[in-house]
Amino acid sequence: MIALELARGGTALVLETDGDSVTLLAVSASPPGSTLLARFGGTSVAIKVRGSRRVEPDAEGRTFRVEGRFQSLARDVRLRLLNEPTTTPAQPKPADPE
């Protein structure tokens, strides 16, 4: 599971990402249009927030689902994010035709 360290304190888990858009489980809400600053593996990342809503808390007390998109994300960071396992199950590969 990918964890981001939030600049304003706490952590956020990456629930889903395609390298551009991202869904997080965070400790606090973020208003639409705001920029959420975080760190991933020592690198700063910025997320432009589309919206957030309260959900059932996890064991760490993260209670907000935050949706947005990465801003100016470097290619190497994007690839690391995409290669890390998330809570979203992988899509099954199609069977080989015989």
Which pLDDT tens digit goes with each residue over 7-28?
A: 999 999 999 999 999 999 999 9
In this structure, what DSSP letter does residue 49 have?
E
Kindly tell me if the per-residue pLDDT of 94 is higher than 80.
Answer: no
pLDDT given at position 66:
97
pLDDT given at position 41:
86
CA gap 87, 65 in Å, rounded = 14
Higher pLDDT, 83 or 70: 70
CA gap 53, 55 in Å, rounded = 6
Global pTM reads: 0.79
Residue appearing with tokens 């957030």: 52
- What class is the 2-83 domain? mainly beta
| CA end-to-end span of the chain | 36
Kindly tell me if the per-residue pLDDT of 63 is higher than 60.
Answer: yes
pLDDT given at position 28:
92
pLDDT given at position 71:
95
